[in-house]
Amino acid sequence: MNVYLFELKTQLRAFLLGAGTLLVVTVLLLAGAYPIYRGSKASVEQVIAGFPPQFAALFGVSNDIFSFGGFYRFSSLYLMLITAIMATAWGLSIFSREQRSKSTDFLFVMPISRRQLYLAKLAAGLTLVVIAILLYLATIGLLYGLYRNDATAMAISLPRLLLAACSLFGVAILFFSFGTLTAVLMRRVRSVSGIATAFGVIGFMLVSLPEMTGDNKYRIVAPFTWFNIDEVLTHGRYEAGYIALAVVVTLICLIVGALVYVRRDVNAV
């Protein structure tokens, strides 16, 4: 419990920065940019008409962008990017702390096993993810209320919108596991922010493979697309196969991370 509480306390600043950024960008997009888009509908439609179909699909630009659900779909890719960077950074930071501070020898005198230490750190990271996503869902619910009486904007129900918003939980858990495994495998993490940003940007760029080619087989290497916003907004469900893939990849990363963390040699300083 002491390790768990220590990690939560130590990560407080990073949590406030990451979760705060996610919430601020969400508000700016859905409460700031969305009304501007709707107010300039004719101009925006002209711009959309000039986009190549693949380019428009890549960035989530479609004719339903003037509804709240459609604009959320457009915004979701950028919110996923922020979430991926945030969660990866937490995984890297929590599991590379002793390496970065050159205090790995301290692990030898801990009155708990290495396995318990790993689980305590993992629990702290997952707690940060859950709290951040709950705050995000609450923000989405409040923003939805701004347009509750607008029949054009509200072409989607709140439960379905919140279900779509849960895609960020999947992205966060998945990329947290990436950060965890990377921290455990690397002998030294020199830049948490640099590595986390690289993971997020790569995830963002990989979305272009299925969107630009129109071939769904590339979705298997594009983690953001495993949590299909279109499927949720249209049919009210996620694709079971891709959710299963995300779960399997997450478990593999965390289990391999645990095995390496427990068995690896630790160099005393």
Per residue in 181-233, pLDDT tens?
A: 999 988 787 888 899 999 999 998 888 887 776 677 888 989 999 998 888 88
Provide the residue type at 198 as one letter.
Answer: A
Provide the pLDDT for residue 251: 97
Q: Is 163 exposed, middle or buried (0-12, 13-18, 19+ CB in 10 A)?
A: middle
**How far is it, in rounded angstroms, from Cα 2 to Cα 24?**
32
- What percent of the chain has a predicted confidence (pLDDT) above 90? 44
Provide the pLDDT for residue 51: 59
Centroid of chain to Cα 80: 5
Centroid of chain to Cα 262: 27
Provide the pLDDT for residue 35: 82
Helix (H, G, I), strand (E, B) or coil at 124: helix
* pTM recorded for the entire structure: 0.88
Q: Which residue has the tokens 């419990």?
A: 1
Confidence of residue 174 (pLDDT cuts 50, 70, 90): very high
pLDDT at 24 over 50: yes
- The CA radius of gyration of the chain, in Å to the nearest whole number, is 20
Token code pair at residue 30: 């859905």
Beta strands per DSSP E along the chain? none
Maximum Cα interatomic distance, the chain, rounded to a whole number of Å: 67
Q: What residues contact 169, with CB distance under 8 A and at least 6 apart?
A: 129, 130, 133
Provide the pLDDT for residue 234: 84
Q: What residues contact 198, with CB distance under 8 A and at least 6 apart?
A: none
**How far is it, in rounded angstroms, from Cα 97 to Cα 112?**
17
Q: Is 43 exposed, middle or buried (0-12, 13-18, 19+ CB in 10 A)?
A: exposed
Lowest mean pLDDT, pick from 129-138, 145-154, 241-250: 145-154
